[in-house]
Amino acid sequence: MIRVVIVDDEPLARRGVKVCLRRAPDVSVVGEADCCEDAVEIIDRLQPELIFLDVQMPGLDGFQMLSRLKCQDPPLVIFLTAHASYALKAFDVRAIDYVMKPIDDDRFADALRLARQRLLERSAGKQLAHSAGQENPRWEPRLEVRSGGKLQWVEVSDIDWIEASGDYVTLHVGKRTHMIHCSLDSIEQRLHPTQFARIHRSSIVALERMQGFSLLPSRDAIITLKDGTELRVSRRFRHRLRLDTAHSRLP
């Protein structure tokens, strides 16, 4: 059961969220608050897995509230807002999605599906860490490639981005490319998650190479690399972009 707290100063807005959640048998609303000061205490006490959070409220706003939480395992956040201009800032604080007011049922359902996916990934990650005895995996500092029948090594730190190419993956390293006979999934498992992010079913990007980020009406996004390359970020993988870190490098 997904435990939810709703934070919004408008009673009708909180009621609207609860009505939407009644259609989700795997969700339980365990608390609600009409101001961020009360919400901090409620969330720290109840430890929900998911928060529906209004951005603009009297006193503390939603962003300030999140900075005051003391949860060891922070809940996922879906922002509720009447202003699309808050969208990018929402992802900067690692919110998984935002829903515009008035709430559209289909849009709300999409956000809830994304929350379920994130919670499953979080659970799988904890199980993997437990089975590994809490030890960090060994990320590879370089990858083996073949060129002209010769074996070469590519330093992972030199890679700009990686794309799936049929039964191969293509490493983009400056103006050079190298192909490896493997799947994108297997390459992803060999790369440090603080340095690389899966942004699409067919591409991975080096976070250090990010130069710009813009949202699209479809809720996909476009990132621009320092060399001018533009890559599409699908909404399925957008949450994997660590914008709190990567965006701090943007001009």
Q: Which of 105, 131, 157 is the last residue of a domain?
A: 131
Q: Are residues 176 and 96 in the same domain?
A: no
Residue 136 forms part of a structural domain: no
Q: Give dist(CA 120, CA 210) in Å, integer.
A: 28
Q: Are residues 24 and 124 in the same domain?
A: yes
Please give the mean pLDDT across all residues of the chain. Answer: 85
> Domain tally for the chain?
2
Per-residue buried b or exposed e for 142-154, using 16+ beta carbons within 10 Å of the residue's own CB: ebebeeeeeeeeb
Are the C-beta atoms of 250 and 221 separated by less than 8 Å?
A: no
Residue 152 identity = Q
State pLDDT tens for residues 34-75.
999 999 999 999 999 999 999 888 888 888 998 898 877 889
* Position 87 confidence tier, pLDDT thresholds 50, 70, 90: low
What residue numbers bound the domain in which 174 lies?
142-249
Average pLDDT over residues 159-177: 94
Q: Which of 82-96, 103-117, 122-136 has the weakest average pLDDT?
A: 122-136
More confident site: 2 or 98: 2
pTM of the model: 0.59
Q: What is the pLDDT of residue 90?
A: 64
State pLDDT tens for residues 183-211.
999 898 889 888 899 999 999 999 999 98
pLDDT above 70 (res 106): yes
Q: What is the dihedral of CA 171, 176, 197, 227, to 10 degrees?
A: -160
User: Residue 18 belongs to a domain with what CATH number?
Assistant: 3.40.50.2300
Burial grade of 39 (CB within 10 A; 0-12, 13-18, 19 or more): buried
pLDDT above 90 (res 247): no
State pLDDT tens for residues 205-243.
999 999 888 888 887 889 999 999 999 999 888 777 754
Q: Are residues 111 and 196 in the same domain?
A: no
Q: Are residues 73 and 7 in the same domain?
A: yes
Q: Which of 131, 164, 197 is the last residue of a domain?
A: 131
